[in-house]
Amino acid sequence: MPPIPASARTTHWLWPLLLLLGCVTALIAWLIVALALGQQAGWMAVLVALESAFMLRLGTFRPGRARAWTAAVATAVVIVLAQWAIASAQIGAVMGMDVLASAVRMGPRLAWQLTSLANGGIDLACWAVGVVLAWFAAR
């Protein structure tokens, strides 16, 4: 029996959902790891980059610059949101609030101040490596 040819057109609507799922789970995992270890866990940016690239491939996003940019931007967004969530969780714990309530009330200046105080050079290097790795892994 001759093989049945696969459809020439694959569905490309699935990648945003998979990328959103991957980013949300990576954000939650980063928050849990950082709170459990008591530090910022900047090395999680590398795992976020790999997950972003994998989710875009899994969602049949076409290879190229668009997929690389999307993975790099998604990784950068998760880095920013993770730092915001970690800072708001630490401030919220002191004030008797949960993460979401303190994240909504915390301003960008306080988030920037807490993030700059808590992160060192290694964390910043891991963030940069994560964004660059997302670019190259998603090409």
Q: Over the chain (139 residues), what is each successive 10-residue block's mean pLDDT?
A: 61 89 97 96 97 95 95 98 96 92 92 94 97 97
Is 57 domain-assigned? yes
Is 81 domain-assigned? yes
Is 128 domain-assigned? yes
Sign of CA dihedral 107, 127, 25, 13: positive
Going from the C-alpha of 72 to that of each of 14, 94, 102, the distances in angstroms are 19, 34, 28
Let me know the angle formed at the C-alpha of 92 by 25 and 100, rounded to the nearest 5 degrees. Answer: 40
Is there a contact between 83 and 34 (Cβ–Cβ < 8 Å)? no
Is 122 domain-assigned? yes
Is 15 domain-assigned? no
Q: What is the pLDDT of residue 76?
A: 98
Is 23 domain-assigned? no
Is 28 domain-assigned? no
Place of tokens 């093989």: 3
Domain count, the chain: 1
Is there a contact between 40 and 123 (Cβ–Cβ < 8 Å)? yes
Find the domain containing 88 and state its range: 40-138
